Amino acid sequence: MSTPQQNQDITKIRETCPVFRVLIIGRANAGKTTILQKVCNVDPNTDPIVHDAHGRKVSPPTGNDTDGSLHYCQRGQHDIKYQIMYPGSHFIFHDSRGIEAGSADELRIIRDFLRERESQTLLENQLHAIW
């Protein structure tokens, strides 16, 4: 149970940084989507709210997702800059989309993304965790 002081502290933090930004990395079909849904306490059928790198909303394709990937993108496509949120959540996720170790191109994508987020001046635009 939280105390009134703890609630005030959380409110102050959320005024400064209303979201917690996370990069999730893992191999394809490792359960990344399941982790995000559990953390956000949403039903497995809840579609995420996704925005591209320019802030434009991306519509999820219709139909069931059978390959374990997030719904917003066709299998094989990848954009780590997409921002993924679930309704009511204070998290923004960036998905590695099954980046596997060993590829120089995939490592470059992650490195460039980390540098871009590191250079952001607003706390809410910086990366807060890597899972």
pLDDT in tens, 49-91: 999 888 888 876 554 444 333 445 544 456 899 999 999 999 9
* 1 domain-assigned: no
Number of neighbours of residue 121 by Cβ within 10 angstroms: 6
Residue 32 resides in a domain: yes
Task: State the residue for tokens 């949120």.
Answer: 85
Q: Check residues 36 and 9 and name the one with the higher pLDDT.
A: 36
DSSP 18: -
Please report which confidence band the pLDDT of residue 6 belongs to, taking 50, 70 and 90 as the band edges. confident
Contact 23, 113 (CB under 8 A): yes
pTM value is 0.76
Residue 124 within any structural domain of the chain:
yes
- Please count the structural domains in the chain: 1
The pLDDT of residue 87 is: 93
Flag whether 108 is in a domain. yes
Percent residues over pLDDT 90 in the chain: 40
Range of the domain at 90: 19-130
Determine contact, residues 16/121, Cβ cutoff 8 Å: no
Distance CA 50, CA 92 (A): 9
CB-based contacts of 33, cutoff 8 Å, min separation 6 = 65, 68, 69, 70
The more confidently predicted of residues 125 and 71 is: 125
Q: Does 7 fall in a domain? A: no
What's the pLDDT at 93? 95
Q: How far apart are the first and last CA of the chain?
A: 27
